[in-house]
Structure 1
């Protein structure tokens, strides 16, 4: 595991961080693993930029687990992939004897990382995980970091030749067997992009078909 200083941020080098790194490397594709590490760096850098106080190790663990729900391990799950990742992190942290409040914070960070409008109002680790993921996937906060910071992180943990299409494909493979789990999130955009036959959920239709007389 690379533990050198990258753009002023270090990957935690404690036993728990090393174990989680190996666990995620063993079950995720190279694309998802590199993405998860970059998410940590973007999150930590944005946290420093905003002057936030956060637990570096917990943020790293949240970043490592945040997309594990997209892997084949969860190929039969009908939960939102974010919840699968949150549950996996919770189970691991419970075994490590981590405080319940910290576990809840990381569960929420992972479960809410694709839910806009809420994480930024919660604990820094929750807000920063979403910020880091948004930075890596859609470039949200891109101009808040310097070119030197961006280049340092992507040089150490490259995006590859076509990360954009690769990430869309990873989302699709992780969600195509549970399309109903994308309702109410922007994840349904992925299924609509990849599958022309996909039918989005319709909230107005649900209201109109409700078993009330008016």
Structure 2
């Protein structure tokens, strides 16, 4: 398993999602969403999953945390719900039918579920386990270590721990009935600090 084997979908929605993420995310968050897509694809490969919607996974990964960005922060909705609506708007502009636009919202929302049944939503499952790896270090022993090192060298973690902790803590304080509160109470700051990915050479130095 090597990094060049994974290429982003070359579609209007995928390109627009990447452009939006690059415009509004910090370098740390942009690397996080990119790694999340790569981890999702890698988990699919390791588990032998085929036939899933790769474009949907990519668009959802690129936009899954955009709801914590100031420009898209909703004062009442959970950040994943707000991000899902950004995904709906973007894919509507790309010509996706309504049912598939609904799917991008579902996948983004479900990335923050404690778990997703792949029999119900394989794309949601892949994004959930991918983001859990990047934030909490869950299933860090499943993917090949050389591949993880390669991804982290290309897309280092930079200041993800401090940035994500600050953003989610702010969300939890302002919107205590949302999943952000569960993440904070569940020790997301500690999980980020203790994530085994931090020891694989992926910290980098943010300029």
Work out whether the TM-score is over 0.5: yes
Q: Compared with structure 1, are the counterparts of its residues 50 and 147 closer, same or farther at alpha carbon in structure 2 (3 Å cutoff)?
A: same
- Corresponding position: 1:163 with 2:124: no
Runs of at least 5 residues in structure 2 that lack an aligned partner in the other structure: 190-207
Q: Larger Cα Rg: Structure 1 or Structure 2?
A: 1
Residues 1-214 of structure 1: matches in 2 within 5 Å?
A: 6=3, 8-53=5-50, 54-160=52-158, 162-182=159-179, 186-189=182-185
Q: How many residues align?
A: 188
Cα deviation, 1:53-98, whole Å, max 9, x if unaligned, reads: 2222111100011000001024452111110011110111122221
Residues in 2 aligned to 1:169 and 1:137: alpha-carbon distance in whole angstroms: 13
Offset at residue 149 of structure 1 (A)? 0.9
CA-based RMSD of the aligned residues comes to 2.4
Task: With the length of structure 2 as denominator, give the TM-score of the two structures.
Answer: 0.81
State the SS of the aligned residue for 1:187. Answer: helix
On the 8 A contact 2:21/2:30 being kept in 1, the answer is yes
Task: With the length of structure 1 as denominator, give the TM-score of the two structures.
Answer: 0.78
State the SS of the aligned residue for 1:180. Answer: coil
Runs of at least 5 residues in structure 1 that lack an aligned partner in the other structure: 194-214
Residues in 1 aligned to 2:26 and 2:188: alpha-carbon distance in whole angstroms: 23
Residues in 1 aligned to 2:175 and 2:9: alpha-carbon distance in whole angstroms: 34
Residues in 1 aligned to 2:169 and 2:27: alpha-carbon distance in whole angstroms: 16
